[in-house]
Amino acid sequence: MSFVPAEETARAIGPDRLEMLRALPDLAVGAIAGRDSVAAIVAAVREGELFTVLPTSVATGTEYGDPDAPLRAVGVLRGTLDGEADILDPIRIGSPRLWAALNGRFAAEIAHRYGLYSPCLACHLYVHLARVPLSWALGGAPIITGERETHDGRVKLSQSAASIDAETRVLAHAGVELLTPLRESSGAEIEALVPSWAEQDERLRCVHAGNFEMLDGSVTLDATAYRRYLDEFFEPAGRAIVEAWRIGGADRSTEPPYAAIVAGVLQRAE
């Protein structure tokens, strides 16, 4: 599935369309993934003053399934918010080297140092970061995401109260507001927001799904190690990426050396 490099979204959109989008004071960037992300956009529109949404999906390199699933999700969103918001044509973005630097390249070091590892841990940080250059190009448009602290009691290492707080701080460091209207919502509340959604049919899947679960489906986590991981690696790495983009400026033609940046974060944390 093709995508626009996250670092080059402004160039891909083009100056004329960017000027038009920047003129919209009620614009938000919407994350499109599964049901929760669509429900989050619905909730944000109905709870706030957002009347225009630019849907975005982010390529992780780990997905499989129907490549048209994000487009169908946008169709559900348009049908649900018909007459309430203008849902623009979607854009798909990605940065494989950024994903690798945060989630793959230093897996052994992270597992050794913190006693835990999952490719899911920083993947949600990645998908939020990937949208930051687009938000900047749009004048700092907020990003709507379907992050939830729990999934009706089921634990996900990629989504916890502490990690959502850290992600929010990283994006605030970039000057971008991360909107999480479903943070404390139940599955029933989400279903009520998008009653037409068929969850099993309308989303891409990930090859790493469930990798942090034991055979019985339970999830074990050393809370102290997890806190160290977030404080020493997760949040500092996100901030370092933001700073590298700032230094590069809007007209950079090459992406920053993500692996070297993240390695530097790990070295300083020793």
Q: What is the mean pLDDT of the chain?
A: 91
Q: Please, which residues bridge with residue 86 across strands?
A: 52
Q: Residue 258: what residue type?
A: Y
To 10 degrees, the CA torsion angle through 240, 145, 131, 53? -150
Confidence at 99, pLDDT banded by 50, 70, 90: very high
β-pairing, 143-144 with 4-5? unpaired
As a whole number, mean pLDDT of residues 168-176 equals: 97
Q: Which residue has the higher pLDDT, 187 or 214?
A: 187
CB 177 within 8 A of CB 246: no
Residue whose C-alpha is closest to residue 65's, from 169, 245, 201: 201
Return the H-helix or E-strand segment holding 120. none
As a whole number, mean pLDDT of residues 220-226 equals: 87
pLDDT of residue 207: 87
Question: Is residue 187 pLDDT above 70, yes or no?
Answer: yes
For CA atoms 181, 183, 185, 190, give the dihedral sign. positive
CB 265 within 8 A of CB 236: yes
Q: Which residue has the higher pLDDT, 201 or 169?
A: 169
CB 141 within 8 A of CB 27: yes
Strands of 114-159 (E only): list them: 143-144
Confidence at 53, pLDDT banded by 50, 70, 90: very high
Mean pLDDT lowest for which of 31-35, 199-203, 263-267?
199-203
Instruction: Give the tens place of pLDDT for each residue, 250-270.
Output: 455 468 999 999 999 999 988
Confidence at 212, pLDDT banded by 50, 70, 90: confident
Q: Which residue has the higher pLDDT, 3 or 199?
A: 3
Instruction: Give the tens place of pLDDT for each residue, 64-77.
Output: 988 899 999 999 99
Question: Is residue 201 pLDDT above 70, yes or no?
Answer: no
Residue whose C-alpha is closest to residue 170's, from 238, 122, 111: 238
The C-alpha atoms of residue 215 and residue 198 are separated, in whole angstroms, by 27
- Distance spanning both ends of the chain, measured CA to CA: 38
Main-chain phi, psi angles of 102, to 5 degrees: -80, -30
The C-alpha atoms of residue 81 and residue 144 are separated, in whole angstroms, by 15
Which domains are seen in the chain, by residue range? 4-269 (3.40.50.620)
As a whole number, mean pLDDT of residues 188-203 equals: 81
